[in-house]
């Protein structure tokens, strides 16, 4: 494939599925200057926001009339069969197929798109919606360096990108960065609940917890040179209040084994759903 707009975002791209993740990626690409005339969106029941975006920017909401250079699959895994049956004829030998579907292997996608050779499997996360996503990618051997660069550029528009040498670790990725935002929301709820248990009015406790998690996340974002352990040590004075809490959180039966158990459960679930 001839360098199809790696930096210029002008390859012909079809996005199948414009829900939460597909919609977030679409907005990120348009925000980075992707030429809307080069984008077709296939979505059976587009939201009013997507219809409005199509009217405002001019991307098409129709099946392509020729094979796209990039086909992004962003429907739910259970809709893949029906979607692939309709889309397979449009995927040609030069089409890079990118799938963000949880649990669907490269071999599974390849079998459904027999004319396409290059497949990239990606595991993004919800923070893509605010440009702070973490996407992890694995490519089929047939993907060219240029196609890999194209995939990386598409996800870089939504946040950070990491590559895996193969897809064998993607279930572990799902358990950490894929499902991870929900763990942080859960931590925020736990902090609010602890505040209420200490006598704070529920509304104040919820606001304190949320602002604290937002602020700590922003601090990490703005201090890329510091590890999270260094940031923790910087706010922990010996014998102080934070140290008292961390003694509980960092005990042998504290937060680390709990999160390890949670992540293991997510990985096992990802493996069970995979195919």
Ligand X SMILES: NC(=O)c1ccc[n+]([C@@H]2O[C@H](COP(=O)([O-])OP(=O)(O)OC[C@H]3O[C@@H](n4cnc5c(N)ncnc54)[C@H](OP(=O)(O)O)[C@@H]3O)[C@@H](O)[C@H]2O)c1
Q: Which two tokens stand for residue 3?
A: 């360098």
Q: How far is the CB of 179 from ligand X (least distance, A)?
A: 8
Q: Is the CB of 123 or the CB of 153 nearer to ligand X?
A: 123
Site string for ligand X, 167-206 (x = CB under 6 A): -----------x----------------------------
Q: Is the CB of 123 or the CB of 138 nearer to ligand X?
A: 123
Q: How many residues sit in the footprint of ligand X (CB under 6 A)?
A: 26
Task: Please report whether residue 8 would count as binding ligand X according to CB under 6 A.
Answer: no
Site string for ligand X, 64-103 (x = CB under 6 A): ----------xxxx-x--xx----------------xxx-
Q: How far is the CB of 251 from ligand X (least distance, A)?
A: 32
Strands of 70-73's sheet, edge to edge?
39-42, 13-16, 70-73, 96-99, 118-123, 133-139, 159-163
State the distance between the two ends of the chain, measured CA to CA, in whole angstroms. Answer: 29
Q: How far is the CB of 137 from ligand X (least distance, A)?
A: 12
Q: How far is the CB of 166 from ligand X (least distance, A)?
A: 19
Q: CB neighbours of 104 closer than 8 A, spacing ≥ 6?
A: 77, 80, 121, 274, 275
Q: CB neighbours of 228 closer than 8 A, spacing ≥ 6?
A: 220
CB-based contact 42:22 (threshold 8 Å): no
Task: Please report whether residue 124 would count as binding ligand X according to CB under 6 A.
Answer: yes
Among 117, 125, 150, 158, binds ligand X (CB under 6 A): 125
CB-based contact 255:190 (threshold 8 Å): no
How would you classify the pairing of strands 96-99 and 39-42?
Answer: unpaired
Site string for ligand X, 33-62 (x = CB under 6 A): ---------xxxx-----------------
Q: How far is the CB of 123 from ligand X (least distance, A)?
A: 6
Which of 103, 117, 84, 110 shows the shortest CA–CA distance to 14?
84
Q: Is the CB of 39 or the CB of 123 nearer to ligand X?
A: 123
Q: Is the CB of 75 or the CB of 206 nearer to ligand X?
A: 75
Q: Is the CB of 77 or the CB of 131 nearer to ligand X?
A: 77
CA quadruple 246, 250, 254, 255: dihedral, nearest 10: 90
- Select the residue whose beta carbon is closest to ligand X and give its number: 19
Q: How far is the CB of 122 from ligand X (least distance, A)?
A: 8
Task: Please report whether residue 275 would count as binding ligand X according to CB under 6 A.
Answer: no
CB-based contact 15:39 (threshold 8 Å): yes
Alpha helices in 113-179 (DSSP H): 145-156, 170-173
Q: Is the CB of 40 or the CB of 125 nearer to ligand X?
A: 125
d(CA 14, CA 89): 13
Q: Which residues bind ligand X (CB under 6 A)?
A: 16-22, 42-45, 74-77, 79, 82-83, 100-102, 123-126, 178
């Amino acid at each position: 494939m001839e360098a199809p707009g790696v930096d210029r975002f002008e390859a012909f791209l079809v996005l199948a599925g414009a829900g939460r993740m597909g919609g977030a990626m679409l907005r990120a690409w348009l925000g980075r200057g992707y030429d809307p005339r080069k984008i077709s969106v296939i979505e059976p029941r587009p939201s009013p926001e997507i219809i409005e975006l199509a009217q405002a920017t001019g991307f098409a909401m129709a099946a392509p009339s020729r094979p796209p250079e990039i086909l992004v699959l962003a429907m739910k895994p259970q809709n893949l069969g029906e979607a692939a049956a309709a889309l397979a004829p449009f995927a040609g030998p030069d089409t890079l197929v990118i799938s963000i579907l949880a649990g669907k292997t490269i071999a599974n996608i390849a079998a459904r798109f027999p004319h396409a050779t290059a497949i990239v499997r990606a595991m993004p996360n919800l923070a893509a919606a605010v440009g702070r996503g973490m996407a992890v990618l694995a490519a089929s051997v047939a993907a060219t360096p240029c196609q890999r660069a194209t995939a990386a550029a598409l996800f870089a528009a939504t946040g950070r990108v990491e590559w895996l040498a193969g897809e064998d670790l993607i279930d572990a990725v799902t358990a950490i960065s894929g499902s991870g935002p929900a763990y942080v929301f859960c931590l925020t709820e736990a902090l609010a609940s602890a505040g209420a248990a200490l006598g704070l009015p529920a509304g104040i406790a919820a606001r304190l917890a949320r602002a604290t998690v937002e602020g700590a996340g922003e601090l990490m974002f703005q201090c890329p040179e510091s590890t999270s352990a260094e940031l923790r040590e910087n706010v922990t004075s010996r014998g102080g209040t934070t140290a008292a809490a961390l003694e509980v959180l960092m005990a042998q039966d504290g937060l680390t084994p709990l999160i390890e158990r949670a992540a293991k459960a997510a990985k096992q679930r990802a493996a069970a759903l995979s195919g």
